[in-house]
Structure 1
């Protein structure tokens, strides 16, 4: 029951509510609303148009975590995928679970849920005609990476760092604007999406779903080495 129906109405407020309900009843067909699929399609088409028009820039980045010593994301795979508000909300919910648990490693099933969400999104991008928008690259020994020719729009940078007992996952949103020179991205302690327990059979997020699609020819990013 809507909260507004639970309030104590005055006579005037009750009259206003009745008028409002009558107006709602007169509307037989709700206005069309955008679906996650239509929003994704629109985002993909916008990025493809910017790519074709050369409305692009270069994205560079570095990944590392701090501890007793700084540990770079050395020789790791980094993936760049289009970002939609729906994906952003889904990932924010997973991050909230981790933060509410005081950043303790989440169960492996929660991590696998994140992989399922990311893989489904990547496949949806391909089905929407955006296969050329999905980019893969590898970091160098210092954790540095680079993507060239990135179209203006919203993107998600994916990376991970695995230990023998857990994995750190980054899903970092980036807003790319043409004309920005060498847009920097930092994957560090302050923007980890989550940490989760892993076992020997748990895949890394960039690899998840990669076999289900071909890597677009010529779309590999530069490692910046």
Structure 2
């Protein structure tokens, strides 16, 4: 069984589009004989995220961690207990392509790190986008790590110790732990996801804060 795990904190405005894209990816023809389950992990939500999730045929788990590492880990633990052999992770403000999941499992490696593209740059200046593009390499063999586009086999995940209880960079730590255990990792650009560049980001020191840092004076040096 393949499990897709999505942490969410007050994501009522974007969660519907995320889930619809995941359901489409789950129905890919190359996965016709594979069970796929989607789990939305609602972390301390006080908006309508729960109602949005319940409109879909997905699993829902609620928690009060306010810690993305703990939230991802809780979702993984739940799906491992249900028999998942592959864990796919993305974020609630992200839309995945139809072939996203099929590509992840099709590589046959222990883990897959994919790239992201930004859906809307309107909240940022042109210089921020220019700096981002200058430093981002969306090509095979990249070394970018995004919790919004990450997959790992259940065996490799358990061997590496899973996600740590980190408020940020939990995805980077997992990949470091996977590398220490000798896991084979695919760094690919073929399964690019589309994510938000919003300034009102949910995770401190995450992708949104990185984009905001590009607007600071020191970023121009």
TM-score (norm 1): 0.25
If you compute each CA radius of gyration, which structure gives the higher value, 1 or 2? 1
TM-score (norm 2): 0.25
The answer to which structure has the higher strand fraction is 1
